[in-house]
Amino acid sequence: MASKKPENMTFEATIEELDAIVENLENGDLALEDALKKFERGIALARSGQIKLSDAEQRVSILLQNDDQSPLTEFNDQPEE
């Protein structure tokens, strides 16, 4: 089964898969090449999860602002590269 792209996964699914990868790597039962592939996948998941978390924090911050005089700015839900 092909893995989903991290950016197409929910935050919860990203964290769940990342936890499983960490457990696999900590066991030390993987061949070097397999461990490197898992590590690469883990890095991609961690980056995607961080972007999702940052987006959620930005949304909460916008919602909690009380200043009705603040200028409106467009919400950018695309990651900056």
* Helix axis angle, 11-27 to 32-64, nearest 10°: 150
pLDDT along the chain (81 residues), means of 10: 80 95 93 95 95 91 72 66 52
- What would the pLDDT profile of 2-17 be if each residue is shown by its tens digit? 588 988 899 999 999 9
**Helix/strand/coil for 24:** helix
Instruction: Work out the mean pLDDT of the chain and round it to a whole number.
Output: 85
Residues 6+ positions from 55 with CB-CB distance below 8 Å = 77
Instruction: Report residue 64 as tokens.
Output: 């909690």
Helices (H) and strands (E) in the chain, counts: 2, 0
pLDDT of residue 78: 64
